[in-house]
Amino acid sequence: LCSSKSYYRSLSLFLFLRSVVFSRFCSPCDIKELFCTATGLSRNTTISLLDSTGELFQNVLTQVAEQFSRAFKINELKTEVTNRLAMLEKRVELEGMKVVEIEKCRSDIKKLREEMASRNNRSVTSLSFLDDNKKLTPRRDVPSYPKYMLSQQTIDALRKPTFDVWLWESNEMLSCLEHMYHDLGLVKDFNINPITLKRWLLCIHDNYRNNPFHNFRHCFCVTQMMYSMICLCNLQEKFTQVDILILMTAAVCHDLDHPGYNNTYQINARTELAVRYNDISPLENHHCAVAFQIFSQSDCNIFANFDPEAFKQIRQGTITLILATDMARHGEILDSFKQKVDNFDFTNEEHVTCLKMVLIKCCDISNEVRPMEVAEPWVDCLLEEYFMQSDREKVEGLPVAPFMDREKVTKPTAQIGFIKFVLIPMFETVMKLFPQIEEVMVQPLRESRDRYEELKQIDDAMNEVSSDHFFYYYYYYYFLTGISYFLLIIPIGAEKEE
Ligand SMILES: *[C@@H]1O[C@H](CO)[C@@H](O)[C@H](O)[C@H]1NC(C)=O
Ligand SMILES: *[C@@H]1O[C@H](CO)[C@@H](O)[C@H](O)[C@H]1NC(C)=O
Ligand SMILES: *[C@@H]1O[C@H](CO)[C@@H](O)[C@H](O)[C@H]1NC(C)=O
Ligand SMILES: [Zn+2]
């Protein structure tokens, strides 16, 4: 008998059931849904089950369900705990893990314990046949694969600039980075110890600070874009594996220990870094120095098997690339590349070095190449870091750049100039060598520029309206068609201001 709560109308229903088989993963809600589907009633219907004498059937059913659920939950928990412990044990066994990894295991185990405790606590109180909101822990939604394994889908997506960089926790980004080194053949070709690679990446992670922008996720983005470009432009056919190793490693290390305040601030505030490096690219020098401090620890040195000559080459190449990420040198580097690009010679070392510098620069500032939903949050992160700096500059009486001032900058104004005068010219120059980037990288930049220009027109129109001597009461509509916004302002009343 099912009755709809809203108007207490009952309808009788005779179900001739031979057998109903519920999976052990079924929650009361699933059972209810089954009834609703079978009877064609809406999901929010209140269902009561009465036996032929009119007795409420529900309690019996709940009790049975409870018992089953209890039994299953205990078994499941047992299996899961056994599996996860086995996995952890295996990881410990793999080799004498060093402190960082053991810390990670420890925190994993702690999390596991807490999860078990809270799951036990929830016990059976959630098993109410009538309540949609209190679901039994939906066990089937918990993936059974270990967290450190990447799915084939992720592995495929990782090769493209459209990869959604926001979906992943640090652990997962670390696995992705690890995968790239394996996939490019670097681990094999250079005989890199795979465990050292893991430890090195963990150490890299720990040496990025939690800045709004210059954090580990930014490091991941830049490296992932580098990986995408290596795949897209078939760079492995043009470059040696040493060059590929330098490109990847420089990308991973390029902002290590970034303090969140830029070179100009360091110099104006006469910070320790500026003093140490005589105002010459203090940050980039620091990122690089930290990178090689990490390599100097033997347990994190992925180059441990290299002969001294090869190490020297990698070190020099990596330093050159990290130092090239100083935007103060943008004009100089791009001009030098423009002079070479029309007669580019892949056998000329100077040409190749210059191209590598441009490539890491491209990746470093490539957020706007990504799909709009991925790129846009980065603008907020960057502005947050800028505001942090300008606020501090105001307090300390240092010069403040208007584009960093929270009073003056907006998202469109911050992006338009940068896309038009920095990003597009640089990527269009690279396009001369690698025409395949036009569709995948340059076109998204053009679309992003157009979108921000339209957003700016909207901002300007709004400012005009509000700075007028009239009060307009208006509705405005944004029509989002692909990347274009249209603004419709309909004044529905105007009033002279006295
Ligand atoms: C149940 O949902 C239907 C729409 O699916 C709605 O019209 C009705 O008001 C809802 N009833 C209750 C009691 O929420
Ligand atoms: C278990 O539940 C009790 C009361 O419902 C609560 O006081 C206790 O903190 C809970 N424990 C955990 C581990 O959630
Ligand atoms: C760094 O900050 C200063 C303001 O202190 C600004 O003028 C300069 O353009 C900034 N540099 C970069 C590369 O953003
Ligand atoms: Zn960077």
Sheet holding 46-47, edge to edge: 9-11, 2-4, 46-47
Q: Which residue from 236, 235, 231, 247 is spatially nearest to 353, judged by alpha carbons?
A: 247
Q: What was the pLDDT predicted at 7?
A: 45
Q: Which of 104-118, 122-136, 212-226 has the lowest mean pLDDT?
A: 122-136
Q: Which of 395-399, 445-449, 467-471 has the lowest mean pLDDT?
A: 467-471
Helix extents (H) in 324-371? 330-341, 349-364
Question: Is 364 marked as binding a ligand?
Answer: yes
| Cα–Cα distance, 406 to 391 (Å, whole number) | 8
* Average pLDDT value for residue range 392-400: 89
Provide the 3-class DSSP secondary structure of residue 287.
helix
Long-range contacts formed by 30-34: CB under 8 A, 24+ apart: 31/65, 31/129, 32/129, 32/130, 32/132
Compare 85 and 427 and report the one with higher pLDDT.
Answer: 427
| C-alpha 238 – ligand 1 centre gap (Å) | 64
Question: Is 276 marked as binding a ligand?
Answer: no
Ligand number with the minimum distance to the CA of 219? 4
Q: Which of 37-46, 96-105, 167-176 has the lowest mean pLDDT?
A: 96-105
Shortest-distance Cα residue to atom 8 of ligand 2: 121
| Closest atom of ligand 1 relative to the 4 alpha carbon | 13
Most confident option among 63-67, 131-135, 337-341: 337-341
pLDDT of 232 strictly over 50: yes
**Cβ partners under 8 Å of residue 338, min gap 6:** 429
Q: What was the pLDDT predicted at 414?
A: 79
| Cα–Cα distance, 475 to 357 (Å, whole number) | 49
Compare 39 and 293 and report the one with higher pLDDT.
Answer: 293
pLDDT of 210 strictly over 90: yes
Mutation probe of ligand 1 site: the residue of 6, 9, 43 with most atoms within 8 A of C-beta: 6
pLDDT of 25 strictly over 50: yes
Q: Are 48 and 56 in contact (CB under 8 A)?
A: yes
Compare 360 and 140 and report the one with higher pLDDT.
Answer: 360
* Average pLDDT value for residue range 468-486: 36
Q: What was the pLDDT predicted at 123?
A: 43
φ/ψ of 48, rounded to 5, equals -120, 140
Compare 312 and 28 and report the one with higher pLDDT.
Answer: 312
10 membership: H or E segment, kind and range? strand 9-11
Q: Which of 81-85, 149-153, 341-345, 416-420 has the lowest mean pLDDT?
A: 81-85
Compare 324 and 39 and report the one with higher pLDDT.
Answer: 324
pLDDT of 56 strictly over 50: yes
Confidence of residue 4 (pLDDT cuts 50, 70, 90): very low
Mutation probe of ligand 2 site: the residue of 115, 118, 119, 121 with most atoms within 8 A of C-beta: 121
φ/ψ of 476, rounded to 5, equals -130, 145
Q: Is 52 in the pocket of ligand 2 (CB under 6 A)?
A: no
Q: What was the pLDDT predicted at 366?
A: 96
CB atoms near residue 379 (< 10 Å): 18
pLDDT of 486 strictly over 50: no
Q: What percent of the chain has pLDDT over 90?
A: 50
| Closest atom of ligand 2 relative to the 117 alpha carbon | 13
Q: What was the pLDDT predicted at 485?
A: 39
Confidence of residue 44 (pLDDT cuts 50, 70, 90): confident
Q: What was the pLDDT predicted at 471?
A: 36
DSSP 8-state symbol, 322:
H
Q: Are 427 and 437 in contact (CB under 8 A)?
A: yes
| C-alpha 130 – ligand 1 centre gap (Å) | 15
Q: Which domains does the chain have, with CATH numbers?
A: 139-418 (1.10.1300.10)
Compare 138 and 467 and report the one with higher pLDDT.
Answer: 467
Q: Are 4 and 46 in contact (CB under 8 A)?
A: yes
Confidence of residue 253 (pLDDT cuts 50, 70, 90): very high
Mean pLDDT of the chain: 80
| C-alpha 357 – ligand 3 centre gap (Å) | 21
Q: What was the pLDDT predicted at 39?
A: 72
Beta-bridge mates of residue 50:
56
pLDDT of 403 strictly over 60: yes
**Cα dihedral: 154, 159, 161, 166 (round 10):** 30
Compare 51 and 33 and report the one with higher pLDDT.
Answer: 33
| Closest atom of ligand 2 relative to the 114 alpha carbon | 13
Q: Which of 205, 214, 287, 351 is catalytic?
A: 214
Q: Are 337 and 355 in contact (CB under 8 A)?
A: yes
Q: Is 330 a known active-site residue? A: no
Q: What was the pLDDT predicted at 440?
A: 95
CB atoms near residue 83 (< 10 Å): 12
Of the CA atoms within 13 Å of residue 31, those in its CB half-sphere come to: 23
Compute CA distances 489 → 252, 411, 423, 429, 465, whole Å: 47, 21, 33, 40, 9
| C-alpha 117 – ligand 2 centre gap (Å) | 9
Residue 184 CB burial class (10 angstroms; 0-12, 13-18, ≥19) = buried
Shortest-distance Cα residue to atom 5 of ligand 1: 42
Q: Is 316 in the pocket of ligand 2 (CB under 6 A)?
A: no
Q: What percent of the chain has pLDDT over 70?
A: 72
* Average pLDDT value for residue range 10-36: 64
Q: Is 121 in the pocket of ligand 2 (CB under 6 A)?
A: yes
* Average pLDDT value for residue range 157-177: 93
Q: Is 53 in the pocket of ligand 2 (CB under 6 A)?
A: no
Q: What was the pLDDT predicted at 476?
A: 34
Q: What was the pLDDT predicted at 11?
A: 54
| C-alpha 2 – ligand 1 centre gap (Å) | 15
Q: Which residue from 196, 198, 159 is spatially nearest to 175, judged by alpha carbons?
A: 198
Q: What was the pLDDT predicted at 79?
A: 76
Question: Is 214 marked as binding a ligand?
Answer: yes
DSSP 8-state symbol, 16:
-
CB atoms near residue 198 (< 10 Å): 24
pLDDT of 1 strictly over 90: no
* Average pLDDT value for residue range 385-407: 87
* Average pLDDT value for residue range 143-161: 75
